Each structure stands twice: as C-alpha cells, then as structure tokens.
Amino acid sequence: MALVVIFACLMKYPGLRFGGEYAAATGKNLVVNYRQRGWLVFGLFSISQLFSMVFIIAAVSLFTSGLLQVALGFETGPVMGVFILLVLVAAMLMTGHYKVLEKSIKVIVVFFTLLTTVCMLMVVDRLDWSVSAFALPPLDVPTILFIVALVGFMPSPTDASILQSLWTVARAESEGRRASKEESRFDFNVGYITSCILAVFFLFLGTAVLFESGVEMPADNAGFARGLLEVYTSVIGDWSYYVMAITALCVMLSTALTVTDGMTRMALAIGSESLPEQDWHSDRYYNVVLIVLCLAALLVIQTLLQSFARFMDMTSVIVFFIGPFLALLNHRAIFSDEIPKDKQPGRIIRIWSIVSIVSLFLLMVVYCYYRLFVSG
C-alpha cells in the first residue's frame, strides 16, 4: 500500500497547497471565495462541511482519548473517554491555556519524528523490497474501501486547505502584513513533505512489526493506541513505552486542539458569510459554536460508534467524497481573476492540479461502482 500513500500525497498536494497561497495573495479565506461562487455552491459547501467537521472532530477525539487513557493509565468507555477529552480541549481553547502546549509542540514533534525515523531504520531489513511487494492486491470491496480510507486522511483531509487559509489571514492580521507567495509555499511544503514521509514510515513500521508477524490491532480506541505504542517498544525496547505514550499524546492533543479550533473558525466563517450583520468574531460566538461542535461530535460517537475501525473508515469515506469537490473549488479560486498572474502557481502545478482532481473523481466513481454493484 506504499504506492497508495504516495499517490494520495501527490494527488492531494495542489488542493491543500492552494489554501494558504490564496489567503496570502488576497487577504481573504477560502470561505469568502466559495460564497462568491453563488449561493448554490456556498450552500452545498456549508452543508457538507458542517456535516464532515463533526465527524472529523469525533474521529480525532476518539483516537486521542485512547492515547489519553493509555498514557495516564485509566480505562473507560469510548464515549466517556471522548467526553473527558473534549471537555479538556474546550477548556484549553476557551481559556487560552493551549498556548503552553503550542510553545513546546515543535520540539515534541521533532522528537517524535526522530524516534519514528530511528524505528523505521531499525526495521528496514525486515521488509520485503521486491517489486512484487509493492504491487496492489486484487481489487475488491475491502481493498477499495481501504484505499479510499487512506486517500481520505493521508496525509490530511482536503478540508485542511480551508483551515490553512483561515490561519494565514489571522496571522497576517496579527503581524500587520501578508505572507509572500514564497513564504506561504515554503511553510506549506516543509509541513506537507514531513507529513508524507512520516505517513510512509508509519506504513513500513506497521508492515514490518504487525503484518509480517501476523499481529492484529485491537478494535477499540484504547487498545489500538496501546497496540500502536507496542510497535515502537517492540523495535526500540520496553523503556520507551511511556516516553512514546506521553510524546504521542502531546502530538495528538495538539492535533485535537488544532482541528477543533480550526473547525470552529470555519463554522464561524460560514456564519459570517451567511449572516454578515452578526458579530461572528466575538468570543461569545466562538465559545457557543465550539461547545455545539463538541456536543455534536460526542452525539455522533454515542449513536454511530460500533467499532473504532469501522467509525474511522466511515469518517475517512465522508472526508474522501468531499475532497475532490474542495480541490476543484480551490483550483478555481487560485486561478481566478482576483489573483494576479504573478502570484498564481505555474503551468506545471496547474496541470498537476487538473490531473489530481480528475484522478480523485475517478477513484470516487470506482468506489461507488464496487460498493453498489460488486459488493451485492
């Protein structure tokens, strides 16, 4: 499946990159551009995002709550675990205490990346590097579902482009200047390439430690988190268990904070474009929307969670189906008349973007065909 991860990283690159570049060039977020496309486009976007953001928050919270239980050594059900985590996340966002974690997270991420790289290098000789090992398995419904799940979240949902545009605008307002095209592109490329490399490393680690030994990951979130940590301890020793537990928890807690804050800001941006007469930028609106999204995510887990793996697959499919449409909207935004030609991406990226959009839509058609006609 390494080729699938690489395919996902290549195909999603343009759509994700355009968010920050659009904001840097115009000083506006992507939600504003979507509204300029008309009420039909904006309405469909708003409905899909208000739907998907709840599932994304729920999925990230479900996994992070598993790490929280493992790192702190307590056990509870998935719903209560997510409730505890979301209370913590909401409290940190509303009081600003997340800034303490924000200051140290870069060091923690570097440490986590180094440990993952070391583990990857230590298992290189266990992997099958023959050409046949990289071949895709026969296409059937489970394989297609797995591919779609990988493409949906690898290396991140296309929704992240909207969050990137929101944060780029916010940073420009706080710094009093817009980032240049080169600055925006460099910042994005560093983070994106790192994420893609880590995604491939995780796949190789899982293949070497789990697949080759025939070990199956537990179906619950805490068990899955514990199994993930044991991948590391089996390679570098038992001493690393709690070190990795705390490190992974900090990384995922930061992710949960980032995702929840970003989705709240996106919901506020949608509200601002829908009802501009309201003061959507006030703390009161932020706190209310934040609480509503957290409660909605908790309700989704309470009503739809059957197993950790199935819920993550369902969320991945939802994210995947929205992705190609967002990539198309982002392509139209960055190559629109409001962007000066000298600030638009070059011809290679334009072609790359078109190929990516077509490829993602084709994969969607293949998935629908297998789901509707082959599985029956």
For residue 290, what are the CA distances in angstroms to 49, 274, 287, 298, 368? Answer: 15, 18, 5, 12, 34
DSSP for residue 73 = T
Distance CA(51)–CA(45), nearest Å, equals: 10
**Is residue 85 within 8 Å of residue 61, measured between CB atoms?**
yes
For residue 324, what are the CA distances in angstroms to 218, 328, 352? Answer: 32, 6, 14
Question: What pLDDT is stored for residue 212 in this prediction?
Answer: 57
C-alpha torsion sign, points 172, 335, 182, 187:
positive
Amino acid identity, position 343 = K
**Is residue 109 within 8 Å of residue 251, measured between CB atoms?**
yes
Q: DSSP letter string over 24-70?
A: HHHS--HHHHHHHT-HHHHHHHHHHHHHHHHHHHHHHHHHHHHHHHH
C-alpha torsion sign, points 111, 115, 116, 117:
positive
Amino acid identity, position 277 = E
Question: What pLDDT is stored for residue 163 in this prediction?
Answer: 92
CATH of domain 2-374: 1.20.1740.10
| 38 Rama class: left (phi>0) / alpha (psi -120 to 50) / beta | left
Amino acid identity, position 220 = D
DSSP for residue 275 = -
Question: What pLDDT is stored for residue 375 in this prediction?
Answer: 64
Considering only CA atoms, which of 331, 329, 333, 320 is closest in space to residue 363? 320
The angle formed by the CA atoms of residues 210, 112 and 247, to the nearest 5 degrees, is: 95
Distance CA(75)–CA(80), nearest Å, equals: 10
**Is residue 89 within 8 Å of residue 274, measured between CB atoms?**
no
The pair of three-digit structure tokens given for residue 169, joined into one six-digit string: 């605008």
pLDDT in tens, the chain (376 residues): 678 888 899 999 999 999 999 999 999 999 999 999 999 999 999 999 988 999 999 999 999 999 999 888 888 888 999 999 999 999 999 987 666 666 677 788 888 888 888 888 888 887 777 766 666 667 777 777 778 888 888 888 899 999 999 988 988 887 788 777 788 888 899 889 988 998 888 888 877 776 655 566 676 788 888 888 888 888 888 888 888 888 888 888 888 999 999 999 999 999 999 988 888 888 889 999 999 999 999 999 998 887 777 888 888 888 999 999 999 999 999 999 999 888 899 999 999 999 999 999 999 998 888 888 776 5
Question: What pLDDT is stored for residue 213 in this prediction?
Answer: 59
- Dihedrals phi, psi of 275, to nearest 5 degrees: -130, 75
Amino acid identity, position 125 = D
Domain boundaries, the chain: 2-374
Question: What pLDDT is stored for residue 331 in this prediction?
Answer: 97
Alpha helices in the chain (DSSP H): 2-26, 30-36, 39-72, 78-95, 98-122, 141-153, 160-175, 181-206, 221-236, 241-274, 283-304, 308-334, 347-369
The angle formed by the CA atoms of residues 173, 179 and 183, to the nearest 5 degrees, is: 150
Question: What pLDDT is stored for residue 98 in this prediction?
Answer: 64
Considering only CA atoms, which of 349, 341, 269, 348 is closest in space to residue 25? 341
**Is residue 148 within 8 Å of residue 4, measured between CB atoms?**
no
Question: What pLDDT is stored for residue 173 in this prediction?
Answer: 83
Question: What pLDDT is stored for residue 133 in this prediction?
Answer: 62
